[in-house]
């Protein structure tokens, strides 16, 4: 019967090692080494858990002889008397150490196959040999990582610490991701076949990492992540990494997550997956274009109903008081569960102290990853700044209603259950330059309290095949997380009609337009296309537009209204005849330019803005466009 476990594990492990080393010294002829098998079993019985050497032997299926070889190599480093005995059995003048020949001579149950490269001792890099004196005469060297493990210290191999990083178990996980994790765990626990790599693909990188960590936790494993960019390229380096990881996975009880970026090599990934054993998951935005014996699971940022559930869970007791805010957040933003948890934890606990505004503001600025492909537009304009016919204003207000009520209509009332087609909010603003298309987008952004990004076509469109689609995917995906309004100014340059295929350039240009059609239809935020020439757009876009708003050239009454609103309240005015100004046939953008130019002329002259200064500014603006006004058009501006 085992003795009571009255020692802590580390002390008991050390006492067992002392007894084991004494047994080895006795085999080497040390008469003072007294422990026998009963003493070793007594020391083992007092352990609160398995000894490190026993765990190692079990993990790598070592025979008794292989276990003793490993103990002998460890004893040389930890027991000076054992090292001296090994040196005494070696050739004269040799360095203290144990050789395989010595192990074969003195250890019981010896077998030659123990030191072959395919046997566990060398295949798992538990020991190595100095091959200077042949296989049997060379010194056995225990790997430092294994030596410390036997001594009771279990840590990630120092050769991997720069590449592998631990992943914490998430505090919040979307229900759809939890179901995916449960399915993966069930398959991995099924012992009917070796576990296959699992490919997690989609636009939720945080969700993929959290799902992988949940899988590992359910399996009782730690999780480490490795960047795809750090995967070695040569077969020799891949073998070395795979061997080290295979040993670490066993010693630490760990799984591996390989995080692939778009530009990481899929061929290198395939080569590594073919070499790595154990639970392995891969996260990526798109499935690699390689044939792998693996399973795939889409992990995208949660949809609106799950966003609402995540916010309710993250806010806890505050959720009831913030129900309207939660609905707004869920309807406008697609954030990862991790980001929801961070934002909820970062605001105050008292809903009466402006938590609503702070939370909306935090979500609005949660991401900023599209800055190099789009320019943020600061939106300050309101409805009073926009002069349009009533029909157009009503349509713009309806656009705001559709954004606000997406969650209720599409998800609570079930429209989204009938398919994802036609659920987007893509809209077209068309009309002459300066009629208020961009201003209307700013008004909507202000009304909805959403970020507005103008797409920089020079950054998005690339001459390299496939790069335009990649840029557009990044713009749409990241804007969706922001809940941002996307503004494609002069959209006919990017959304033009598909042409007859005459060469490879035409074919890939058509592919880009087709990709845009798909993304416009699936984009869950508000995307606004503006153009001066509606007929230049591909006809297929019209079928995917929720709203089409025509911005007509303003009539005299509307132009007068624009003139009355164009000057800030602090601008000094003198004798302005707004009715006469409204007779000038120019669009709102030109009116603003004239007003601004006249203000500078007035400031330079030290006077108020007057009709003569406005007449001079109007002629300067016309000269810039090489379309001068006639004297009749500005007659009476005195």
DSSP secondary structure letter of residue 137? H
Residue 348 pLDDT > 60: no
Task: Look at residue 623 in the predicted model and tell me its pLDDT.
Answer: 84
Place of tokens 């952004």: 445
Residue 333 pLDDT > 90: no
DSSP secondary structure letter of residue 243? H
Q: What is the mean pLDDT of residues 576-599?
A: 92
Instruction: Classify burial at 79, counting beta carbons within 10 Å of its beta carbon; exposed 0-12, middle 13-18, buried 19 or more.
Output: buried
In contact, 126 and 63? CB cutoff 8 Å: no
Number of domains into which the chain is organized: 5
More confident residue, 414 or 539: 414
CATH of the domain at 620: 1.10.8.60
Task: Look at residue 421 in the predicted model and tell me its pLDDT.
Answer: 63
Can you read off the two tokens belonging to residue 543?
């079928």
Residue numbers of the domain that contains 577: 556-624
Q: What is the mean pLDDT of residues 489-507?
A: 57
For the ranges 160-174, 265-279, 442-456, the one whose mean pLDDT is highest: 160-174
Question: Is 481 domain-assigned?
Answer: yes
d(CA 153, CA 19): 19
* 238-251 exposure pattern, b = at least 16 Cβ within 10 A, e = fewer: beebbebbbbbbbb
Q: What is the mean pLDDT of residues 502-512?
A: 51
| Model pTM above 0.75 | yes
Residue from 72, 123, 126 nearest 101 by CA: 72
Residue 366 pLDDT > 80: no
For the ranges 189-193, 328-332, 367-371, 423-427, the one whose mean pLDDT is highest: 328-332
**Shared-domain flag, residues 312 and 454:** no
CATH of the domain at 500: 3.40.50.300
Residue 2 pLDDT > 50: no
β pairing state of 547-551 and 427-431:
parallel
Q: What is the mean pLDDT of residues 260-276?
A: 86
Phi-psi region of 414 (alpha: psi -120 to 50; beta: other; left: phi over 0): left
Question: Is 180 domain-assigned?
Answer: yes
**Shared-domain flag, residues 60 and 138:** yes
> Which residues lie closer than 8 Å to 261 by C-beta, 6 or more apart?
227, 228, 229, 284, 285
Residue 4's pLDDT band (cuts 50, 70, 90): very low
d(CA 560, CA 576): 11
Place of tokens 């991401």: 367
**Shared-domain flag, residues 391 and 532:** yes
Q: What is the pLDDT of residues 71-97, one digit of tens each?
A: 999 999 999 999 989 888 876 555 567
Given 248, 276, 298, the domain boundary residue is: 298
Can you read off the two tokens belonging to residue 615?
């007449």
Question: Is 2 domain-assigned?
Answer: no
Q: What is the mean pLDDT of residues 117-142?
A: 85
Among 154-168, 172-186, 406-420, 579-593, the minimum mean pLDDT is found in 406-420
**Shared-domain flag, residues 339 and 422:** no
Q: What is the mean pLDDT of residues 488-501?
A: 63
Given 82, 115, 150, the domain boundary residue is: 150
In contact, 302 and 334? CB cutoff 8 Å: yes
Question: Is 38 domain-assigned?
Answer: yes
**Shared-domain flag, residues 496 and 616:** no
Question: Is 3 domain-assigned?
Answer: no
Task: Look at residue 422 in the predicted model and tell me its pLDDT.
Answer: 60
**Shared-domain flag, residues 327 and 239:** no
d(CA 243, CA 73): 20
**Shared-domain flag, residues 175 and 128:** no
Residue 350's pLDDT band (cuts 50, 70, 90): very low
Task: Look at residue 131 in the predicted model and tell me its pLDDT.
Answer: 67
Residue 55 pLDDT > 90: yes
Question: Is 42 domain-assigned?
Answer: yes
Q: What is the pLDDT of residues 413-449, one digit of tens each?
A: 888 877 666 677 889 899 988 899 999 999 999 999 8
Q: What is the pLDDT of residues 373-421, one digit of tens each?
A: 788 888 888 999 999 999 999 999 999 999 999 888 888 888 887 766 6
DSSP secondary structure letter of residue 84? H
Q: In what order do the strands lie in the sheet with 164-166?
A: 164-166, 222-227, 254-259, 280-284, 198-201, 295-298
Residue 368 pLDDT > 60: no
- Three-state SS at 487: strand
Given 275, 298, 321, the domain boundary residue is: 298
Residue 245 pLDDT > 90: yes
**Shared-domain flag, residues 124 and 57:** yes
DSSP secondary structure letter of residue 455? E
**Shared-domain flag, residues 417 and 338:** no
Residue 271 pLDDT > 70: yes
> Which residues lie closer than 8 Å to 499 by C-beta, 6 or more apart?
506, 509, 510
List beta partners, residue 551: 431
**Shared-domain flag, residues 173 and 277:** yes
Q: What is the pLDDT of residues 177-192, one digit of tens each?
A: 999 999 999 988 886 5
Among 357-361, 461-465, 489-493, the minimum mean pLDDT is found in 461-465
Question: Is 544 domain-assigned?
Answer: yes
Among 70-84, 502-516, 579-593, the minimum mean pLDDT is found in 502-516
Angle between helices 52-59 and 235-252 (to 10 degrees): 130
Q: What is the mean pLDDT of the chain?
A: 85
**Shared-domain flag, residues 291 and 407:** no
**Shared-domain flag, residues 445 and 328:** no
Question: Is 405 domain-assigned?
Answer: yes
């Amino acid at each position: 019967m085992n003795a009571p476990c009255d020692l802590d594990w580390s002390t008991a492990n050390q006492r067992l090692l002392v007894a084991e080393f004494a047994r080895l010294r006795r085999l080497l002829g040390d008469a003072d080494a007294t422990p026998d098998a009963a003493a070793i079993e007594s020391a083992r019985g007092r352990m609160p858990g398995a000894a490190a050497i026993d765990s190692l032997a079990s993990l790598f299926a070592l025979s008794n002889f292989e276990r003793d070889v490993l103990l002998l190599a460890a004893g040389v480093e930890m027991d000076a008397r054992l090292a001296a005995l090994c040196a005494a059995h070696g050739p004269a003048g040799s360095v203290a150490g144990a050789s395989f020949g010595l192990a074969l001579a003195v250890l019981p149950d010896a077998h030659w196959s123990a030191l072959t490269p395919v046997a566990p001792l060398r295949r798992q890099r538990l020991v190595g040999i100095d091959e200077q004196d042949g296989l049997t005469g060379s010194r056995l060297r225990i790997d430092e990582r294994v030596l410390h493990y036997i001594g009771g210290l279990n840590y990630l191999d120092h050769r991997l610490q720069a590449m592998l990083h631990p992943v914490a178990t998430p505090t919040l996980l979307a229900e759809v991701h939890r179901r995916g994790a449960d399915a993966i765990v069930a398959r991995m626990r099924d012992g009917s076949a070796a576990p296959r790599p699992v490919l997690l693909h989609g636009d939720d990188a945080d969700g993929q990492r959290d799902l992988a960590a949940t899988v590992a936790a359910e399996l009782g494993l730690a999780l480490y992540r490795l960047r795809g960019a750090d995967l070695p390229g040569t077969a020799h380096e891949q073998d070395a990494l795979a061997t080290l990881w295979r040993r670490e996975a066993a010693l630490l009880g760990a799984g591996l997550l390989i995080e692939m970026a778009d530009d990481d090599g899929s061929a290198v990934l395939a080569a590594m997956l073919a070499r790595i054993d154990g639970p392995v998951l891969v996260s990526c935005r798109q499935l690699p274009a390689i044939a792998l014996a693996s399973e795939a699971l889409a992990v995208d940022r949660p949809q609106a109903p799950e966003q609402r559930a995540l916010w309710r869970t993250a806010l806890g007791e505050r959720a009831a008081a913030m129900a309207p805010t939660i609905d707004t957040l869920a309807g406008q933003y697609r954030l990862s569960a991790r980001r929801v948890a961070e934002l909820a934890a970062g605001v105050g606990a008292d809903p009466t102290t402006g938590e609503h505004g702070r939370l909306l503001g935090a979500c609005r600025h949660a991401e900023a990853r599209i800055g190099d492909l789009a320019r943020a537009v600061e939106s300050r304009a309101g409805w009073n700044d926009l002069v349009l016919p009533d029909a157009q204003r009503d349509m713009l207000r309806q656009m705001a209603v559709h954004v606000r009520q997406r969650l209720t209509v599409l998800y609570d009332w079930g429209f989204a259950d009938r398919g994802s087609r036609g659920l987007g909010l893509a809209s077209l603003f068309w009309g002459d330059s300066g009629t208020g298309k961009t201003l209307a987008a700013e008004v909507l952004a202000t009304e909805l309290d959403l970020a507005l990004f103008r797409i920089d076509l020079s950054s998005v469109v690339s001459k390299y095949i496939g790069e335009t689609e990649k840029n557009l995917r990044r713009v749409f995906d990241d804007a969706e997380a922001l809940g941002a309004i996307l503004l494609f100014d002069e959209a006919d340059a990017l959304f033009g009609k598909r042409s007859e295929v005459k060469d490879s350039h035409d074919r890939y240009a058509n592919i880009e337009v087709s990709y845009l059609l798909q993304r416009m239809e699936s984009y869950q935020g508000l995307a606004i296309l503006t153009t001066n020439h509606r007929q230049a757009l591909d006809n297929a876009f019209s079928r995917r537009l929720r709203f089409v708003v025509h911005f007509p050239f303003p009539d005299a009454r509307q132009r007068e209204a624009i003139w009355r609103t164009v000057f800030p309240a602090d601008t000094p005015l003198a004798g302005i005849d707004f009715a006469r100004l409204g007779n000038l046939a120019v669009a709102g953008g030109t009116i603003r330019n004239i007003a601004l130019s006249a203000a500078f002329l007035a400031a330079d002259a030290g006077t108020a803005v007057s009709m003569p200064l406005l007449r001079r500014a109007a002629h300067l603006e016309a000269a810039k466009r090489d379309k001068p006004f006639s004297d009749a058009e500005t007659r009476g501006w005195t």
